[in-house]
């Protein structure tokens, strides 16, 4: 994969996880990261609402703060039908990119995060909408538990999600597999294959990554 390596400023804040167990569960870590991210949300913001089991905690928290009156005039742009349904059921006002082409902030999970804050996303099946929303926000805060950290993208050993059009998708799959066989480094070249819609590498997009681990929360800023 062709990935540039811009400088990163690391700022770490270590806080003990607020849980009832000695060792927090993975879902508790996801919740801790999500709640921390929602501290970036201010009244009046247009917010990209991510998809997945981590992002769902952020949506819950935003709704909770809205109902408590601690946040006002929030507009959410959901990155999937599932998130749209969750946000609607919780009473979060929603809109879309046509009406709000620039977002103040987006909060979403990731499948892998490398040391340069490049991501693999989309194993939850929503990468196109996620990339559209998260490529047009002023701040993109990514929330993960520490199992998502990798030295290099692809390091988890799981496949990179690629969205293709349904028409003759096996043909497109074969061409993609051949491309990966020929080259070890492929990036936007994937997009030039007819039939490919988008890939799950989110390069140079995250501005902050919040990592919740057993020893506390770490924030990495670009
Ligand atoms: O990219 C995604 C959905 O398309 C998710 O953010 C990613 O799969 C992480 O999911 P989870 O928070 O459930 O671990």
Complex ipTM > 0.90:
yes
Query: Residue 170 domain-assigned?
Result: no
* Dihedral in degrees, nearest 10, Cα atoms 184, 198, 152, 215: -170
- 135: tokens are 């490529």
Q: Residue 124 maps to which CATH number?
A: 3.40.50.1360
130 is catalytic: yes
Residue-by-residue pLDDT tens, the chain, 222 positions: 444 444 455 555 545 555 555 789 999 999 999 999 999 999 999 999 999 999 999 999 999 999 999 999 999 999 999 999 999 999 999 999 999 999 999 999 999 999 999 999 999 889 999 999 999 999 999 999 999 999 999 899 888 899 999 999 999 999 999 988 976 677 788 999 999 999 999 999 999 999 999 999 999 999
Residue ranges making up the domain that contains 92: 26-161+200-216
Query: Residue 12 domain-assigned?
Result: no
Q: Can you list the positions of beta strands (E) in the chain?
A: 9-11, 46-49, 75-78, 103-108, 112-113, 119-120, 137-145, 162-164, 196-199, 201-202, 208-213, 216-221
Query: Residue 2 domain-assigned?
Result: no
Query: Residue 126 domain-assigned?
Result: yes
- Pocket residues for ligand 1 (CB within 6 Å)? 50-55, 108-111, 121-127, 130
Tell me the best of 110, 148, 201 to mutate to test the pocket of ligand 1, counting ligand atoms within 8 Å of each CB and taking the most. Answer: 110
Alpha helices (H) along 23-160: 26-38, 55-67, 81-89, 127-134
């Amino acid at each position: 994969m062709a990935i540039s390596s811009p400088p990163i400023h690391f700022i770490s804040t270590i806080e003990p996880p607020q849980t009832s167990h000695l060792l927090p569960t993975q879902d508790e870590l996801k919740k801790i990261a999500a709640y921390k991210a929602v501290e970036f949300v201010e009244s009046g913001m247009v917010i990209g609402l991510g998809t997945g089991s981590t992002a769902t905690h952020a949506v819950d928290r935003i709704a909770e703060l809205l109902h408590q009156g601690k946040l006002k005039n929030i507009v959410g742009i959901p990155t999937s039908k599932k998130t749209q349904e969750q946000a609607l059921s919780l009473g979060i006002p929603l809109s879309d990119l046509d009406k709000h082409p620039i977002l103040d902030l987006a909060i979403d999970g990731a499948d892998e995060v490398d040391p340069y804050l490049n991501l693999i996303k989309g194993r939850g099946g929503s990468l196109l909408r996620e990339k559209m929303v998260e490529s047009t926000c002023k701040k993109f805060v990514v929330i993960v538990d520490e199992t998502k950290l990798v030295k290099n993208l692809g390091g988890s050993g799981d496949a990179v999600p690629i969205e293709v059009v349904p028409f003759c998708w096996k043909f497109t799959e074969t061409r993609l597999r051949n491309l990966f066989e020929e080259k070890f480094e492929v990036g936007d070249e994937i997009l030039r294959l007819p039939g490919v819609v988008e890939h799950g590498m989110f390069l140079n997009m995250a501005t902050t990554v919040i990592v919740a681990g057993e020893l506390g929360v770490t924030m990495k800023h670009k």
